[in-house]
């Protein structure tokens, strides 16, 4: 396969409601879309880089620059397979969200060229994937309970709630009291310090499925110290950028579960390697979300079809985020809280070119 053209687009999409985490509020999403032309076959990818460098150091601006000036020249015009791309991009250190946007687009093109579903090409075995929701920090406990009720009415299998200092024990306690049997977990996005272990230990009483990324975004060691003091499993998100960190975290006992995000790890090839490593070490994984548009969401669904994605992920229906998505059909969740893995070639959803065009604020075509 040879790549002839790369089109970078920045689209703006308004979330139906603002999403608050311990590091900030997201409202209007700026999303970088990547389209490759592989000898006439199009492939689509999405960068999960944020508007600001608060979840990770990458932003839409850095991803655009790295894609245009470094990553594209490394693959342009070369005879390559989708499985080669991750290693070709290795000279660039980090910038995994930029890499993933390009790498996943090439996987989509490859699958389309073969007339195969991307999930199948990746080796996925699930026909449907279990879904959870991620609920942002709410102004009141009443509002939080209403959000949970709404998600449960939609069939979702587990609820994740964002926490931060001052909005943790009380709202989660109230939620547990209201829903004694709910599959519940929390995500702190690195808002705590090891010195607050006694406070975090209080979460043990709520029998959570896991606590996601309580401590420093790059601090695996402190998570190992915390995990020894907690009964609740720790799940790492921000800390795990590559296979070596996953191996270290597992071996020193820093987590019992890993959240895999395509953007954070750099694309389908590294995600699959991490999935395989975790499977060999009996560490279950699930697919995280980054408030993606339909294109990133479709890639998440394909990846989630791999066998060790055994826990419900943060991949949920388009209509939880957007008044109108940019793909057809939109991503829908069944009343059992599952998404059917599409069998059409590539990502299995069609980008709506007219809609993408009208949302585009910036475009650059690289030949």
Residues involved in catalysis: 162, 261
Task: Name the segment binding ligand OSB (CB under 6 A); options: 37-45, 176-184, 221-229, 283-291.
Answer: 283-291
Taking the least distance from each CB to ligand OSB, the nearer of 42 and 284 is: 284
The count of chain residues that interact with ligand OSB, using the rule CB under 6 A, is 11
Torsion of CA 128, 286, 301, 340, to 10 degrees: 10
325 binds ligand OSB, rule: CB under 6 A: no
List the interface residues with ligand OSB, window 169-228 (CB under 6 A).
187, 189
Taking the least distance from each CB to ligand OSB, the nearer of 29 and 126 is: 29
Residues 6+ apart with CB under 8 A from 47: 31, 32, 33, 34, 58, 60, 63, 67, 97, 98, 100, 101, 263
Select the binding partner of residue 46 from Mg ion, ligand OSB, none (C-beta < 5 to 8 A, by kind).
none
Q: What are phi and psi of 19, to 5 degrees?
A: -115, 115
Cβ proximity of 71 and 89 under 8 Å: yes
41-46 and 24-38 beta bridge pairing? antiparallel
Taking the least distance from each CB to Mg ion, the nearer of 110 and 162 is: 162
Cβ proximity of 298 and 324 under 8 Å: no
Signed CA dihedral, 64, 77, 123, 272: sign only? negative
**Helix, strand, coil % over all residues of the chain, rounded to 5:** 40, 25, 35
Cβ proximity of 6 and 366 under 8 Å: yes
> Whose CA is closest to 238, among 275, 277, 212?
212
Question: Least distance (Å) from ligand OSB to the CB of residue 188?
Answer: 9
Task: Name the segment binding ligand OSB (CB under 6 A); options: 77-85, 122-130, 284-292, 329-337.
Answer: 284-292
Task: Name the segment binding ligand OSB (CB under 6 A); options: 85-93, 137-145, 193-201, 288-296.
Answer: 288-296
Among 44, 314, 341, 359, binds ligand OSB (CB under 6 A): 314
List the interface residues with ligand OSB, window 7-66 (CB under 6 A).
21, 55
Among 171, 266, 270, 288, binds ligand OSB (CB under 6 A): 288
267 binds ligand OSB, rule: CB under 6 A: no
State the DSSP code for 167: B
Closest residue to Mg ion: CB criterion: 237
**Alpha helices, DSSP H only, in the chain?**
60-66, 72-75, 85-88, 96-114, 118-122, 141-153, 169-178, 197-201, 220-229, 243-251, 262-265, 268-280, 294-304, 353-359
Among 34, 36, 246, 290, binds ligand OSB (CB under 6 A): 290
Where do contacts with Mg ion occur on this chain (CB under 5 A)? 187, 212, 237
338 binds ligand OSB, rule: CB under 6 A: no
Residue 155's Cα: distance from chain center in Å? 21
Select the binding partner of residue 267 from ligand OSB, Mg ion, none (C-beta < 5 to 8 A, by kind).
none
Select the binding partner of residue 289 from ligand OSB, Mg ion, none (C-beta < 5 to 8 A, by kind).
ligand OSB
Question: Least distance (Å) from ligand OSB to the CB of residue 81?
Answer: 30
Taking the least distance from each CB to Mg ion, the nearer of 44 and 286 is: 286
Taking the least distance from each CB to ligand OSB, the nearer of 109 and 151 is: 151
Question: Least distance (Å) from ligand OSB to the CB of residue 65?
Answer: 21
Among 105, 184, 291, 359, binds ligand OSB (CB under 6 A): 291
Residue 171's Cα: distance from chain center in Å? 25
**Pairwise CA distance, residues 201 & 164, whole Å:** 15
Locate 141 and state its tokens: 């406990």
Question: Least distance (Å) from ligand OSB to the CB of residue 291?
Answer: 5
Question: Least distance (Å) from Mg ion to the CB of residue 291?
Answer: 12
Chain contacts with ligand OSB (rule: CB under 6 A)? 21, 55, 134, 187, 189, 237, 288-291, 314
């Amino acid at each position: 396969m040879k790549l002839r053209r790369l089109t970078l687009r920045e689209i703006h999409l308004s979330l139906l409601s603002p999403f608050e985490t311990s590091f900030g509020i997201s409202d209007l999403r700026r999303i970088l879309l990547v389209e490759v032309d592989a000898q006439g076959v199009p492939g689509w990818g999405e960068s999960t880089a944020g508007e600001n460098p608060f979840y990770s150091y990458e932003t839409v601006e850095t991803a655009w620059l790295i894609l245009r000036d470094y990553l594209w020249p490394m693959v342009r015009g070369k005879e390559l397979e989708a499985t080669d791309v991750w290693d070709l991009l290795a000279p660039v250190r980090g910038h995994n969200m930029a890499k993933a946007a390009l790498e996943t687009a090439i996987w989509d093109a490859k699958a389309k060229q073969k007339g195969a579903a991307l999930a199948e090409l990746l080796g996925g075995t699930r026909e449907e994937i279990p879904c959870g929701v991620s609920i942002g920090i709410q102004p009141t406990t009443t509002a939080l309970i209403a959000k949970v009720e709404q998600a449960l009415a939609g069939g979702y299998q587990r609820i994740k709630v964002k926490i931060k200092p001052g909005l943790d024990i009380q709202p989660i306690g109230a939620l547990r009291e209201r829903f004694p049997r709910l599959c519940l977990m929390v995500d702190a996005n690195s808002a705590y310090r090891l010195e607050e272990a006694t406070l975090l230990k209080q979460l043990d009483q709520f029998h959570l499925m896991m606590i996601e990324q309580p401590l420093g975004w790059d601090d695996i060691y402190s998570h190992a110290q915390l995990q020894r003091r907690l009964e609740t499993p720790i799940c790492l998100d921000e800390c795990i950028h590559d296979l070596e960190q996953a191996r270290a975290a597992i071996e020193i006992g820093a987590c019992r579960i890993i959240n895999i995000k395509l953007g954070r790890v750099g694309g389908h090839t590294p995600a699959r390697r991490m999935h395989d490593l975790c499977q060999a070490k009996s560490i279950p994984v699930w697919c995280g979300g980054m408030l993606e548009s339909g294109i990133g969401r479709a890639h998440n669904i394909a990846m989630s079809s791999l066998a060790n994605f055994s826990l419900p992920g943060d991949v949920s229906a388009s209509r939880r985020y957007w008044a109108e998505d940019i793909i057809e059909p939109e991503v829908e969740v069944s009343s059992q809280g599952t998404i059917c893995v599409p069998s059409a070639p590539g990502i299995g959803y069609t980008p709506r070119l007219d809609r993408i065009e009208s949302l585009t604020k910036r475009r650059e075509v690289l030949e």
